[in-house]
Amino acid sequence: MIMDARRVAEDAARTSYGRLVALLASRDRDLAAAEDALSDAFVAALKSWPETGVPTNPKGWLMTAARNRMSNLYRHDRMRAGLADDLERHFAASMQDIGAFPDERLKLLFVCAHPAIDSAIRTPLMMQTVLGLDAARIASAFLTSPATMGQRLVRAKAKIRDAAIRFEVPDADVMPERLTFVLDAIYAAFGQAWDAVPGGDSGAVDLTAEAIFLGRLLVSLLPGSAEAKGLLALMLYCEARRGARRSADGAFVPLDEQDPALWSRDLIIEAEALLTEASAAATLGRYQTEAAIQSVHVQRPFFGETNYAALRSLYALLVRQHPGLGAWLGYSGVLLKLGEVGEALAILDDMPTERVAAYQPYWVLRAHVMRALSQLREARHAADRAIGLTEDEAVRGYLLSKLMPLVKPEATG
């Protein structure tokens, strides 16, 4: 009975955390107070449910308790006396199922990724307020200390409350720009996990599942957004290949050498469907292009080889939409595969020196390009640099055993 009450309470808190926080904070923009009230309600549930039994509507119970806690807080705070009545009205139907209340999580996502919030804290803020992750777990994913992460989260929430950032879904005229911030913040969580996980030796917490959850949430809350679908598709394509990124003995396996039998068929089918749906809207954006690139890669087993001509067109589009280092590097890599070595090198040479200095993928590609041009001294220099910049043990092993022999003098013979 006691374990059962605990399980139900935990389940209710987990599955409705973001909805409850969003609802509690939507009036007053006070995320910290909403989180505190919810955690008090959770503690009260753990105390009373084992004695009185699990209520028929656990989520409604949690929300009523959190609501009461917030109202009490405000009653003690004269300056905000008016808000207590407001909250009472807002929660008039308190014991109803949470489904009867508006889902304010979309507003919460836009608040977390507001341009007035430091871009580096937008992703952690979403992880905490929408998913209920604690600061220590988020800190571990972002390779920083729990104390630092905690402080930065507190500061961001104080800014939302004190500067009174608007708690609403943006108007159509600013929507595309504002949505980009939300998409980027979700993708940052995924990218963080994706880069950190390979060897598993960084010890970082993997937020891939959380990022995909947010991606699904965004698609369900904004069904008309093609880019939201593009982002979710992109993440699912990558996730589908998770099992193929390492060999049985833990060695790194690059994408074009992966065994497609190890890819998740279900995730690929879901991603393909999302991308098709997105394309119907005819508003092609960066995430759809990136998803389309992944789609070309997963079609390799059907054609026996990767369609580099298609990739070339997609990367040419991507560098116009989102001219980041990764996009240019991908473009250059595809040109190399197509034998357009001079063009591939021209792109590498055009990339800003200070930004590529510590960018490992750049030096790997440069080694291959220089080798294709038979400039082995340059190729070796780039390979050395790439290996020096590689943190992941499995990737370093791969480069030492596969790249180095290619750039040794005897490789020309």
Partner 1 sequence: MQYMLILNETAEDFAKQVGGEGTEEYWGGWHAYIGAMMGAGIVVNGDGLEPPHTATTVRIRDGKRLVQDGPFADSKEQLAGYFVIEVPDLDTALEWAARSPAAATGSVEVRPVMPPPQAA
Q: CA 111 to CA 18: how far, in whole Å?
A: 13
- 344 contacts: CB under 8 Å, gap ≥ 6: 332, 333, 335, 336, 365, 369, 372
Report the sign of the C-alpha dihedral through residues 394, 365, 312, 341, in that order: negative
| Interface with partner 1, residue 1, by CB under 8 A | no
Classify 203 as helix, strand or coil: coil
| Interface with partner 1, residue 147, by CB under 8 A | no
- As measured in angstroms, the least distance from the Cβ of 160 to partner 1 is 9
Helices and strands (H, E) in the chain, number of each type = 22, 0
Binding-site member from 2, 95, 164, 209 for partner 1 (CB under 8 A):
164
> CA 70, 72, 74 angle in degrees (round to 5)?
70
Binding-site member from 43, 81, 95, 116 for partner 1 (CB under 8 A):
116
Q: Which stretch binds partner 1 (CB under 8 A): 122-130, 156-164, 225-233, 354-362?
A: 156-164
| Interface with partner 1, residue 320, by CB under 8 A | no
Query: For the purposes of burial, counting CB atoms within 10 Å of the CB of 298, is it exposed (0-12), middle (13-18) or buried (19 or more)?
Result: buried
Residue nearer to partner 1 on the CB measure, 162 or 266 = 162
DSSP state at residue 171: P
- As measured in angstroms, the least distance from the Cβ of 168 to partner 1 is 8
Binding-site member from 43, 163, 255, 400 for partner 1 (CB under 8 A):
163
Q: Which stretch binds partner 1 (CB under 8 A): 163-171, 269-277, 309-317, 371-379?
A: 163-171
Residue nearer to partner 1 on the CB measure, 78 or 352 = 78
Q: Which stretch binds partner 1 (CB under 8 A): 160-168, 188-196, 329-337, 368-376?
A: 160-168
Q: CA 213 to CA 219: how far, in whole Å?
A: 10
Report the sign of the C-alpha dihedral through residues 294, 299, 305, 311, in that order: negative
Binding-site member from 166, 377, 402, 408 for partner 1 (CB under 8 A):
166
Residue nearer to partner 1 on the CB measure, 79 or 248 = 79
Q: Which stretch binds partner 1 (CB under 8 A): 11-19, 159-167, 253-261, 405-413?
A: 159-167
- As measured in angstroms, the least distance from the Cβ of 3 to partner 1 is 45
Residue nearer to partner 1 on the CB measure, 160 or 367 = 160
- As measured in angstroms, the least distance from the Cβ of 187 to partner 1 is 24
Which phi-psi region, left, alpha or beta, contains residue 262 (left: φ > 0; alpha: ψ -120 to 50)?
alpha
Classify 382 as helix, strand or coil: helix
- As measured in angstroms, the least distance from the Cβ of 159 to partner 1 is 9
Binding-site member from 11, 134, 162, 391 for partner 1 (CB under 8 A):
162
Q: Which stretch binds partner 1 (CB under 8 A): 38-46, 162-170, 283-291, 358-366?
A: 162-170
**Residues of span 74-103 touching partner 1 by CB under 8 A:** 78-79
| Interface with partner 1, residue 158, by CB under 8 A | no
- As measured in angstroms, the least distance from the Cβ of 27 to partner 1 is 13
Task: Give 361-370's long-range contacts (Cβ < 8 A, gap of 24+).
Answer: 361/326, 361/329, 362/325, 362/329, 363/389, 364/399, 364/403, 365/329, 365/332, 365/333, 365/336, 367/403, 367/406, 367/407, 368/336, 368/403, 368/406, 369/332, 369/336, 369/341, 369/344, 369/345, 370/345, 370/407
Classify 249 as helix, strand or coil: coil
How many chain residues touch partner 1 (CB under 8 A)?
8
Residue nearer to partner 1 on the CB measure, 80 or 322 = 80
- As measured in angstroms, the least distance from the Cβ of 165 to partner 1 is 5
Q: CA 332 to CA 326: how far, in whole Å?
A: 10
Residue 147's CB: how many other CB atoms inside 10 A? 11
Binding footprint of partner 1 on the chain (CB under 8 A): 78-79, 116, 162-166
